[in-house]
Chains A and B, each alone.
Chain A
Amino acid sequence: MDLNWLSISEVHAGLMGKKFSAVELAKAYLERVKSGEKLNNFITITEDLALEQAAAVDAKIAAGEEIGMLEGVPAGVKDLLNTKGVRTTCGSKMLENFVSPYESTTTQRLLDNGYVLLGKTNLDEYACGASTETSYFGPSLNPWDLTRVPGGSSGGSVSAVAAGQCIYAIGTDTGGSIRQPAALCGCVGMKVTYGRTSRFGAVAMASSWDTIGPVARSVEDVAHVLNAIAGRDPYDATTPDVAVPNYALDLSKRAAERVKGLRVGVPKEYFEEGVDEEVKAICMAAIREYEKLGAEIVKISLPMTKYGIAVYYITMPGEFSTNLARFDGVRFGHKPSEMEDLLEYYKQSRGEAFGAEIKRRIMVGTFVLSAGYADEFYKQAQRVRTLIVQDFDKAFEDVDVIMGPVSPTTAFKLGEKLDDPLAMYAADMLTIPASAAGLPAISLPCGFSKAGLPVGLQIIGPQFEEGLVLQAAAAYEQVTDWMERKPEF
């Protein structure tokens, strides 16, 4: 039995049926993490912890206790989430030696659900990038083509799932950081409604945009993980008290029913200039599949789409530069060689420990918030953000979900965009709008390019309609077999 490509429900059945133990399972995944080391998906491997957690699950099974769906299931966690007693680097030299003194809410909920943590996954430094190339620990590679990026910023999480190194992983999505790598690596990645999952203990990037979410190899697995991590958290005041349904319950049955008569909006702006022709064609073919399944396809327009990048690259750096002020090398972080006074110490710590993209965003953020420019840049961007929200509000009067490509291209070459910040920023042109409006959106594998690279379909729903988005995704997944293909690397 090849343990590395199991689904969560298969693991659950296998453990309960004593076909394999949780320790055997953890060892199989740790082995693959190590044999696939060239992918550079893990910054820290937590082997001892994983085996200890797995042994605890085996002890429960041996004692005849019931186990939950996620118990014993090996996972990776983006190295942006604090995990008590485990190093949390944010992919930065600043936190190279930082061991978290506390646990994030998301990983605490996974601990409560008996997960097995294999390690902390690679990311763009402080989640700033679309390729993992800004990581201080070097880029992760795309398992479908080792000369290409896995996307970012949650590139390590997604590449690890695609490569069979873990069953699911936790990522974060601020402007596309789960969806874009999921599209580029052929995984299912979910960006939740803003506030659906707690941000507590995830190192903040842009606080009014940040979300935590799962990536896996099936819609059902994503639903199982979401069941564990979603919901109100007293430690995050932006998590509303909205009920969490069982997202995985009868998913395939409900999906088949839900897709009949489903009104699918297709925005013309998601199929315009700047989006690769092959990506457009593959996504359109997937949308036609929905029509065959009984959905009604509705042409819509989201005219503010083209302003998304500018709105994001003003408001995000503003929030980012503010959030990053706490990294000054005093309470935690990089200690530079001796400095005369404290002010010089701060500047030297930050100057030495932050990479180029972090410095760029801190300076853009400082600029757009500075006296004399805040109204022209920051507040104008917040007003245009309102227009993007109104675009979606209007669209959802006539449609149930919105579909289009996730990424304008398939996986690009390592180094191709690293020295051109604006080209890198454009990678998120189709994921930013849903983020601006706080909407749930999924990246669903929908085919491969002629070069053999995965393409993702984006499905966007109204706020807190994760259940609907998952059902819509599952309906397509049931009639296609894209996930049968495995990368060889």
Chain B
Amino acid sequence: MPAVKVSPMKLTKEQVEKLAQLARLNLTPEEATQFSGELTDILGHLAVLGELDTSKVTETAQVTGLANVVREDVVNSELCEPEALLEASPFEKQDHQIKIKRMM
């Protein structure tokens, strides 16, 4: 496998707006303009990793060597009552459920 290429790139205002929608964030037009410049600078800096040949290197996602730690799949309410969880919602509750807006 060839070395991974990390290249500087420009994020336009339109790309930032698309990204924000994917991330479920409403941005003001001013924010979109500001972030376009800032994210371009940030991604440009991150491209420094392109200097390194990592074709023979494995990825690290976990540093202490644990793998597949499992537990019994049992419901445990000792930490928190379901009613207390419902209380945290800013919405109306009905029949032990949160009543939300329609989906579409």
Contact = CB atoms under 8 A, between A and B. Distances in A.
B14 interface: no
A377 B6 contact: yes
A376 B5 contact: yes
B30 to A, nearest CB: 11
16 contacts: A307-B49, A310-B49, A331-B88, A331-B89, A341-B101, A341-B104, A342-B100, A342-B103, A359-B25, A359-B31, A360-B38, A367-B11, A367-B43, A375-B4, A379-B59, A381-B46
A4 interface: no
Interface of A: 98-99, 101-103, 193-195, 208, 234-235, 237-238, 240, 306-307, 309-311, 313-314, 321, 325, 328-335, 339-343, 345-348, 350-352, 354, 356, 359-360, 362-368, 370, 375-377, 379-387, 389, 421-422, 436-438, 463
A77 B82 CA distance: 26
Contact of A194 (B39, B41, B64, B69): B64
Contacts of A334: 90
Given A380-B50, A463-B63, 17 more contacts: A101-B81, A101-B87, A194-B64, A195-B64, A238-B62, A307-B49, A307-B52, A335-B90, A341-B102, A343-B103, A363-B23, A363-B35, A379-B59, A380-B49, A382-B60, A383-B57, A383-B59
A101 B61 CA distance: 31
B42 A421 contact: yes
A3 B69 CA distance: 45
Nearest to B50: A380
At the interface, is chain B mostly helix, strand, loop or mixed? loop
B46 A310 contact: yes
Interface string B23-41: 1111100010011001101
Contact of A102 (B4, B60, B79): B79
B75 interface: no
Contacts of B24: 325, 328, 343, 346-347, 350
A314 B49 contact: yes
Contacts of B61: 208, 382
